[in-house]
Structure 1
Amino acid sequence: MPEASRPSPRDDVHALDPHTLRGLAHPIRMRLLAALRHHGPATASQLAERLGESSGATSYHLRQLAAYGFVEDAPELGKGRERWWKAARQGTSFDRSLYTDSDPSTRTAVEVFLEELADSHAREVSTWVHSATDWPVEWHGSANLSDYTLRLTPELAAEMNAEAHALIESYRDRAIPEDAENVAQVRVHLHALPQTED
């Protein structure tokens, strides 16, 4: 899924505005973009097979993603008429001003975007739960499904989120040798959600 919530110091992050948010806020487009970010360049047919969609649908939505700057051609991989796509950037940032945009279509896009993001997180957690016993035992204690309840102000919640993001980012560029054993792509979800107490 697109990685979202706050601006990142990384250069390869697509900052959403009302226009680009409306272009991205579609379940198939978000899943296509996530697949390209997580698994690398692919053709529309390969993505259709991965997502369980028709290649016509994936081709259409890839062109829409390209029009909004989320994906681009990877001509170095194509052979003949085969068209390969890659993610233009590796992350997405979501500015809080989008919540209060005056355009109703933007507010609808916010809901669609956040719903699909939540659904993608749920799918990834479910996949881990149903496949956990297939992983080497070292990974059983390294995976994490935790939750906490804290009493915070909006300022303290924002501070906590910023510190958590900084910690996670500090692990991004740790050098891991190409031939290292027992290395996996690790997805980290961070949810900090205010809720009523009744």
Structure 2
Amino acid sequence: MQSYLCDMQEWPESADTYHVRDPRVMKAVAHPLRVRLLGALRVDGPATATELAAKLGESSGSTSYHLRQLARYGFVEEDPEQRDARERRWRAVHQYTAWSELELGGTSEGREVAGFMRDRQTEVLLANRRSFERDRDSWGPEWIEAAGMSDHLARLTPASITALYARVQELIREMEAVDAADPAAERVMLHLAAFPIRGYDL
């Protein structure tokens, strides 16, 4: 699985992705405040503990402690381009976190932290939807028409799902390159999930 803010099959190795294989490392980020701190740094860029505290409604002492814990496990680091020697700015080391459900699922601890991260992804999806609905009139007709969700029912093998994730990732990067210089481009949160079902039970 892969997550911008905080899973599916193993994604190709790349410099912008942190592949977590140790449940203890995943547990370090699977904390309600730490995963929000990491997400904020990935989305909005480097920030101090004080700035993050104000943004997330936490104390600077708490954000400072949890940033140090994230740094200990390689998720964040001090920003080498410090604007002020008197303040410590932090940045995310990677854009994505990836893990293997099979590897982490070998222990109860691994299953627990992977489940937390899946729940967090769902929370982010719902928050994105609520935010768009709240501000939809400010986006204009093109964005109102383009934004949304869809679901599909398909008969696929695990290998095909893995290939689908890879194809979608490639396509996203292609589209990013096409739109890189377009002033109409905005940051867009894309979500992709696939779970096998044996019947309709919703």
Once the two structures are superposed, residues 138-196 of structure 1 have per-residue CA deviations (whole angstroms, 9 ceiling, x without a partner) of: 2122223111122223233223223222222322333633xx53331111111222233
Contact 1:98–1:107, Cα closer than 8 Å, also in 2: no
2:196 is equivalent to residue 194 of structure 1: yes
Name the % identity.
34
1:105 Cα deviation after fit:
2.0
Contact 2:42–2:95, Cα closer than 8 Å, also in 1: yes
Give the Cα–Cα distance (whole angstroms) in 2 for the partners of residues 72 and 156 of structure 1: 37
Residue of structure 1 in register with 2:15 after alignment? 11
Residue of structure 2 in register with 1:31 after alignment? 36
Task: State which of 127, 146, 151 in structure 1 corresponds to 2:150.
Answer: 146
Contact 1:2–1:30, Cα closer than 8 Å, also in 2: yes
Query: Alignment length, in residue pairs?
Result: 195
Residue of structure 2 in register with 1:171 after alignment? 175
Give the Cα–Cα distance (whole angstroms) in 2 for the partners of residues 164 and 194 of structure 1: 19
Matches for 1:49-60 after TM superposition, within 5 Å: 49-60=54-65
2:109 is equivalent to residue 108 of structure 1: no
Matches for 1:63-102 after TM superposition, within 5 Å: 63-102=68-107
Give the Cα–Cα distance (whole angstroms) in 2 for the partners of residues 194 and 81 of structure 1: 52
Instruction: Pick closer, same or farther for the CA change 1:167–1:78 going to 2, 3 Å.
Output: same
| Stretch moving more, 58-67 or 69-78 | 69-78
Instruction: Pick closer, same or farther for the CA change 1:128–1:8 going to 2, 3 Å.
Output: farther
Which AA in structure 1 matches 2:194? Answer: A
Unpaired runs of 5+ residues, structure 2, are none
TM-score, normalised relative to structure 2: 0.86
Residue of structure 2 in register with 1:2 after alignment? 5
Which AA in structure 2 matches 1:193? Answer: F
Contact 2:7–2:100, Cα closer than 8 Å, also in 1: no
Once the two structures are superposed, residues 80-123 of structure 1 have per-residue CA deviations (whole angstroms, 9 ceiling, x without a partner) of: 42110000111111113234223x22222122222112212221
TM-score, normalised relative to structure 1: 0.87
2:162 is equivalent to residue 158 of structure 1: yes
Unpaired runs of 5+ residues, structure 1, are none
| Stretch moving more, 57-66 or 148-157 | 148-157
Give the Cα–Cα distance (whole angstroms) in 1 for the partners of residues 101 and 71 of structure 2: 24
Task: State which of 184, 187, 200 in structure 2 corresponds to 1:185.
Answer: 187
Instruction: Pick closer, same or farther for the CA change 1:54–1:163 going to 2, 3 Å.
Output: same
Give the superposed CA RMSD: 2.0
